[in-house]
Amino acid sequence: MASPYPSYEYFLVTTPIPNVAHVQINRPQKMNSFHEAMWLELKIVFDTLSISQDVRAIVFSGAGDRAFTTGLDVQAASQEGVLKQQEGAADVARVAVGIKRFVQGFQDCVSSIEKCEKPVICVLHGYSFGLAIDLSTCADIRICTSDVKLAVKEVDIGLAADIGTLTRLPKIVGNFSWVKDVSLTARLFGAEEAYRVGFVSQVLENKDKAIEAALKMGELLASKSPVAVQSTKELLNHARDHTVASSLRYTGVWNSAAIQTEDVQKAMLSGIKKTKPTYSKL
């Protein structure tokens, strides 16, 4: 099926199933490693999908067999952005301001996956290092292949991971001892361990099977009321960052509009009639 999306330079966006977009990081020859132009484009991709009325679920993976992404393209990074910026700079405080802006800009791009109103299923496969973890912690559901090689790699290049991993990992995996172990040691971990601690919720045999499973899950989500699905994503993300009392209040207000949807009637009716409901675009 032809994609209604523009051609991106570093991402391949297709619609293999109606209402389900498949986003692939598309630089396989470089193990899908990232440089600045790529995360700027990433934001455009997800901001666009967030409000595309034909999209109800998104599958996110890397192109090629070898890697979801190996993270930052260190070679490119040293030519641009934050690392380059430092050379010859006279004043520590001024360099710091440059770095802060750079990091916040980078964070904003990655956060676009989390802010995307449609649910995002991330398929981790092959090498999935550094930025791979940052990106995947922004997704809603993480699944992986049995041979995935995962690592919070940043400590090994003298850095604390600052694009989101250290902020989000403790909030998506309830095993702080393990979170600190992998974040401090930068060691490799595999599918079995990721599944056991709850970093991923499903492990598939290989990439084909994983993509297939993700698309099938996407198809399932796309068959349901988009009002219900997108509200659920929003309310779960709100709960993560607020007290119970505050989120219950927000939920009541959210649903005061959302429940007025025709989807409730459609869903109930089709439940009784055992038919498949058709929901309007959102």
Q: Judged by CB under 8 A, which stretch of 1-9, 14-22, 34-42, 216-224 contacts a copy of itself?
A: 216-224
Write the binding mask 55 to 84 for a copy of itself: x where contact by CB under 8 A, - elsewhere. -------------------x---x---xx-
d(CA 12, CA 101) in angstroms, rounded, equals 28
How many Å apart are CA 267 and CA 281, to the nearest integer? 15
Instruction: Build a one-symbol-per-residue string for 15-54: x at contacts with a copy of itself by CB under 8 A, - elsewhere.
Output: ------------------------------------x---
Tell me the number of residues near a copy of itself by CB under 8 A.
Answer: 115
Q: Least distance in Å: CB of 45 to a copy of itself?
A: 18
11 forms beta bridges with: 25
CB closer to a copy of itself, 12 vs 103: 103
Nearest distance in Å: CB 104, a copy of itself: 5
Measured between alpha carbons, how far is 143 from 194 in angstroms, rounded to an integer?
A: 9
The closest of 193, 178, 262 to 225, measured between CA atoms, is: 262
Chain centroid, CA 191 distance in Å: 18
Closest separation between CB of residue 108 and a copy of itself, Å? Answer: 9
Joined tokens for residue 82: 């934050």
Give the range of 33-41, 60-68, 194-202, 204-212 binding a copy of itself by CB under 8 A. Answer: 194-202
Cα–Cα distance measured from residue 231 to residue 234, given in angstroms and rounded to the nearest whole number: 5
- Mark the segment that binds a copy of itself (CB under 8 A) among 2-10, 36-44, 204-212, 261-269: 261-269
Residue 275 within binding range of a copy of itself, rule CB under 8 A: no
The distance from CA 87 to its chain's CA centroid, rounded to whole angstroms, is 33
Minimum gap (Å) between residue 122 Cβ and a copy of itself? 9
- Measured from the CB atom, the residue of 28 and 277 that comes closer to a copy of itself is 277
Shortest approach of a copy of itself to residue 260 CB, angstroms? 4
Among positions 150-189, residues that touch a copy of itself (CB under 8 A) are 154-162, 164, 166-181, 183-187
Q: How far is the CB of 214 from a copy of itself (least distance, A)?
A: 11
Instruction: Assess 247 for contact with a copy of itself (CB under 8 A).
Output: yes
DSSP class of residue 278?
Answer: -
Q: Which residues, numbered 81-110, are part of the site for a copy of itself (CB under 8 A)?
A: 82-83, 86, 90-97, 99-101, 103-104, 107
Question: Per residue in 218-246, is it b (16+ CB within 10 Å) or e — as a string?
Answer: bbebbbbbbbebbbebbeeeeeeeeeeee
Burial state string for 168-203 with b = 16 or more CB within 10 A and e = fewer than 16: bbeebbeeeebbeebbeebeebebeebbebebbebb
